[in-house]
Amino acid sequence: MSDTPSPEFASSNDATPSNDATPSNDPGRFDQIVNLTKRRGFVYPSAEIYGGFRSTWDYGPVGVLLLRNVKDAWWRAMVQQRDDVVGLDASILTPPAVWEASGHLTNFTDPLVDCKKCGQRWRLDKLEDPDKCPGCKATGSFTEPRNFNLMFSTHAGPVADEGALAYLRPETAQGMFTNFKNIINTTRVRPPFGVAQVGKSFRNEITPGNFVFRTREFEQMEMEYFVPPEDAEKYYEYWKAERERWYLELGMPRESLRLREHEADELSHYSSATADVEYLFPWGWDELEGIANRGDFDLKAHTERSGERLDWFDQAEGVRYVPHVIEPAAGATRTAFAFLLAAYDVEEVRGEERVVLRLHPRLAPYKVAVLPLSKKSPLQETARALAAELRDEWSCEYDENQAIGRRYRRQDELGTPYCVTVDFETSEDGAVTIRDRDSMEQVRIPLEGVADWLRPRLK
Ligand code: ATP
């Protein structure tokens, strides 16, 4: 065995990027990426040993890290780095009163049509041609549209009677409104301020699909920003720009991301303006996040239904008002998938195909991998000790199986930004080789300097 990492990866000069122009919207790649997510432990079909279960997915050992990193990056930008936003983790099980007040029990519906020819069901507002069945291609075969409510109901407690009826939340937002009074009474916030939450939501979608894009159980990252009414327009503009910036900073290509303002007929009844952050998916532009100017609809609706006055008294001005709300509402699972699509790249290296996930280091499941060139002593001990040290700060892979070239390829497919190779010279010169995922360039640095070298690069 050679005492240096495989020469195949010794320089990046021979790497020819196959296609810089956004590969993420190429339908052929979609299957390759879905395949990679299964093969490398990102996402598995739920209950697969029983044949799977209706568009539900489980995040595997690698996927759970990616998803967590997306949520952490959101929390960092939306809560940790700000002094005007606080966090919340409200319950998923909710009494009907909340959804009566919010309007979900009457309005949270999608128009459902059945095809009389093939029996398949469709969501009318998402069909390209509202008269043509995408399943059997028949025209004029649909039933009259029916409003189908997307709420999942259940019963809390041992008796399944009317009084025990509860709902799984279809969005996290209502928890922020129902806790408005608790939050202003127990913290130092004052408008403009936000309440942020990350968590699971459930919608009985008529047509889940496109892998994890639309599922019945998913995770959201939502923030309600409460502002004086006269400032609502200003903060609506502010949050649109902030949210777009977040995606770009984490590596979304500019040409695959856009902000689309809703047309008047798309707006919810309470919203005076809404814009979607959209990503160019393989099937076209689709939503990652909605940013809505919700006015005072929510606080007023809950005040009316609950009898609790949900407003703000500005002592300095001596005025009482119901704050208006700007809501950036993103999907964590959907966004993690979009980052994966955007990061996926295939290039040719010396006649061989290299698949690499060019994920932003903050999103990469593993930040670093430690790879001893041999399982023999003292390489293994040195490498294990280094991995243990690095794990104190980052999720770190340790891999001593197979040829080094194959191990690099595996880390490329996991999106690991750096691989540290402990080789036969390490015990003599006290140094290791660090390989960069994107350029494949290698540098040799002292063993004890690895963490210091990585720290600024993994920020
Ligand atoms: P759509 O038009 O795609 O049904 P929506 O406009 O109803 O979505 P919102 O209520 O604004 O979605 O929810 C905010 C975010 O939550 C969406 O932008 C999306 O990222 C995510 N989301 C909503 N529904 C789902 C779902 N069924 N599966 C995965 N993510 C979802």
List the pLDDT tens digit at each of the 459 positions of the chain: 333 333 222 222 223 333 333 455 666 889 999 999 999 999 999 999 999 998 899 999 999 999 999 999 999 999 999 999 999 999 999 999 999 999 999 999 999 999 999 999 999 988 989 999 999 999 999 999 999 999 999 999 888 787 799 999 999 999 999 999 999 999 999 999 999 999 999 999 998 999 999 999 999 999 999 999 999 999 999 999 999 999 999 999 999 999 999 998 888 878 889 999 999 999 999 999 999 999 999 999 999 999 999 999 999 999 999 999 999 999 999 999 999 999 999 999 999 999 999 999 999 999 999 999 999 999 999 999 999 999 999 999 999 999 999 999 999 999 999 999 999 999 999 999 999 999 999 999 999 999 999 999 999
- Residue 172 Cβ < 6 Å to ligand 1: no
Q: Does residue 307 come out as left (phi exceeding 0), alpha (psi in the -120 to 50 range) or beta?
A: left
HSE, CB side, 13 Å, CA atoms: give it for residue 286: 16
For residue 2, what are the contacts with CB-CB under 8 A and spacing of at least 6? 373
- Alpha carbon of 281 to ligand 1 centroid (Å): 15
pLDDT of residue 161: 80
**322 within 8 A of 270, measured Cβ to Cβ:** no
pLDDT of residue 383: 98
Pocket test for ligand 1, best of 168, 210, 214 (most atoms within 8 A of CB): 214
Residue nearest to atom 10 of ligand 1 (CA): 171
For residue 204 the two structure tokens come to 């009985």
Pocket test for ligand 1, best of 124, 278, 334 (most atoms within 8 A of CB): 334
- Residue 240 Cβ < 6 Å to ligand 1: no
pLDDT of residue 80: 98
pLDDT of residue 25: 61
**339 within 8 A of 252, measured Cβ to Cβ:** yes
253-257-261 Cα angle (round to 5)? 160
**87 within 8 A of 197, measured Cβ to Cβ:** yes
- Count of Cβ atoms closer than 10 Å to residue 36 Cβ: 18
**Greatest Cα pair distance in the chain:** 79
pTM, entire model: 0.92
pLDDT of residue 158: 86
- Residue 289 Cβ < 6 Å to ligand 1: yes
Q: How far apart are CA 279 and CA 277, in angstroms?
A: 7
Q: How far apart are CA 274 and CA 266, in angstroms?
A: 9
Residue ranges of E strands in 5-114: 15-17, 43-45, 57-59, 85-88, 93-94, 109-114
Residue with tokens 């939306």, as numbered in its chain: 78
- Alpha carbon of 336 to ligand 1 centroid (Å): 14
Helices (H), 160-202: 173-178, 180-186
- Residue 25 Cβ < 6 Å to ligand 1: no
pLDDT of residue 17: 32
- Residue 330 Cβ < 6 Å to ligand 1: yes
**229 within 8 A of 325, measured Cβ to Cβ:** no
- Residue 220 Cβ < 6 Å to ligand 1: yes
